[in-house]
A = this chain, B = another copy of it.
């Protein structure tokens, strides 16, 4: 047993744990909660069970999270982040080549959904949220985020319009809504699709068709 471990066993009350240990416990709780919630539905899993399955005490849950809502929001934040990063990355390229950036953004999101287990679990969890008063604030947040995604899509399309890359008669606002329907349709689809390869081919095909359909005809 090294010196560090020895020290720890002497003062084992939670606040004195190292920051790293605390972060590990928090991550383990978030991951286990996401897994159990996605599997069985939020309303059929207790905080107690999450603690037990993550191998920590019931009290540790309350050390890291105020309550179930807080836990849920923190899980959500983790899932949302990769989508945000996709957008931020492509927002830079959008100034040079907005339609390419838009396509890369859409493909990037599809890639995430087909490769990241936690994004898949998160999607399953948050987009099939039961209509319950206890989850109303979460549901509102999801709706806001959906609108935010549409406004991101609008940004790409506005840039494309400015660069005269869009078909003239297309409305930027309508097309952003159309595109958001396609994107959320694809994400919904990812929940029922059993063959990731087939799903990816289908998603790419649809994104390609839509991008072609919006682009101005080449002179």
Point out residues on A near B: beta carbons under 8 Å: 167, 170-171, 174-175, 177-178, 181-182, 184-186, 188-189, 201-202, 205-206, 208-214, 217
Contacts and interface: CB of A to CB of B under 8 A. Distances in A.
A217 B216 CA distance: 12
A212 B211 CA distance: 10
A187 to B, nearest CB: 11
Nearest to A214: B209
Number of copies: 2
A175 B214 contact: no
Contact of A213 (B177, B202, B214): B214
A209 to B, nearest CB: 4
B205 A175 contact: yes
Contacts of A182: 181-182, 185, 206
A208 B171 CA distance: 12
Contacts of A178: 202, 205-206, 209
